[in-house]
Amino acid sequence: MRILIVDDSAMMRAMIKRVIKLADVNVEDVLEASNGAEGLELLKQHDVQLLLTDINMPVMNGADMLREISLNPDRWRNLSRVIISTDGSTVRREEAEELDVRCYLEKPFSPEVLRDVLNELADNEFAETE
């Protein structure tokens, strides 16, 4: 599985990468981007199965990136989308549902919570494709 982390904080990306290593998932590669525009470029260049993205970022935010992705449902049919954001508003959560987001993880979160999300996704979504 190839994972893309999109977050404008290098520390948050490093923390997520550390948790990925602790999770019981078969990871081929972890890519990083610091905003939605960079994330979209990487998605176009690589076959990514799991996207972990923040919402509030400079240049292009995570919601706009997810909207772009949803415009090409065939191209990214096998891309599981997870939001990791400080924005826990009901409006944003409803919006996420419309954008085919599998999980909405609100910051702050403990590493164990993210690890459990990754393990659950691996069990339910990626087991068949591996």
Summarize as ranges the residues that interact with another protein (CB under 8 A): 8-12, 14-15, 18, 56-58, 61, 85-92, 94-95, 106-110
Residue (22 or 127) nearer to another protein, CB: 22
Distance CA 42, CA 79 (A): 13
In the complex, what is the shortest distance from the CB of residue 118 to another protein, in angstroms, rounded to a whole number? 17
In the complex, what is the shortest distance from the CB of residue 111 to another protein, in angstroms, rounded to a whole number? 9
In the complex, what is the shortest distance from the CB of residue 123 to another protein, in angstroms, rounded to a whole number? 24
Residue (7 or 49) nearer to another protein, CB: 7
* CB contact at 8 A, 35 and 41: no
Sequence-ordered list of residues with C-beta below 8 angstroms from that of 101, at least 6 positions apart, any chain = 66, 81, 82, 83
In the complex, what is the shortest distance from the CB of residue 82 to another protein, in angstroms, rounded to a whole number? 17
Among candidate residues 59, 55, 51, the one with its CA nearest the CA of residue 32: 51
Tell me the sheet residues that pair with 124.
Answer: none
Residue (43 or 114) nearer to another protein, CB: 114
The separation between CA 7 and the C-alpha centre of its own chain, rounded to angstroms, equals 9
